[in-house]
Amino acid sequence: MENTIESLTKQKEILQSACRRAGVEIRELKDTIQKLEKMAAVTSEDVIDKLRDAENYFRTEDYTEDKWD
């Protein structure tokens, strides 16, 4: 009887540990899926707009310079 209780207790501990590891893996996979979904939601137009914005970022002029001369 004692061997059975010990054996079942060990099995329970092993299963709990496996479930915890599986839970961690599931959370990591869900996080990866969310990141991939965000990446997939970016359209080519979004990329072009960002590139255009970046290209023009340093081309901005100070509107206060040489306007009153």
Residue 60 has a pLDDT of: 61
pLDDT (mean) for 37-56: 87
* Residue at 63 is within a domain: no
Overall domain count for the chain: 1
* Domain-located, residue 62: no
Give the highest mean pLDDT range of 4-13, 32-41, 48-57: 4-13
Its pTM stands at 0.56
What is the reported pLDDT for 53? 85
Torsion of CA 22, 24, 27, 31, to 10 degrees: -120
Element (H, E) at 6: helix 2-41
Instruction: Specify the 3-state DSSP secondary structure of 62.
Output: coil
Structural domain contains residue 64: no
Considering the domain boundaries, does residue 46 fall inside one?
A: yes
Residues 49, 3: Cα–Cα separation, whole Å: 69
Chain CA centroid to CA 29, Å:
9
Q: Return the percentage of the chain with pLDDT > 70, whole number.
A: 81
Q: Which domain holds residue 12?
A: 2-57
Say if 49 falls within a structural domain.
yes
Does residue 45 form part of some domain? yes
The pLDDT assigned to 62 comes to: 58
Residue 37 located in a structural domain: yes
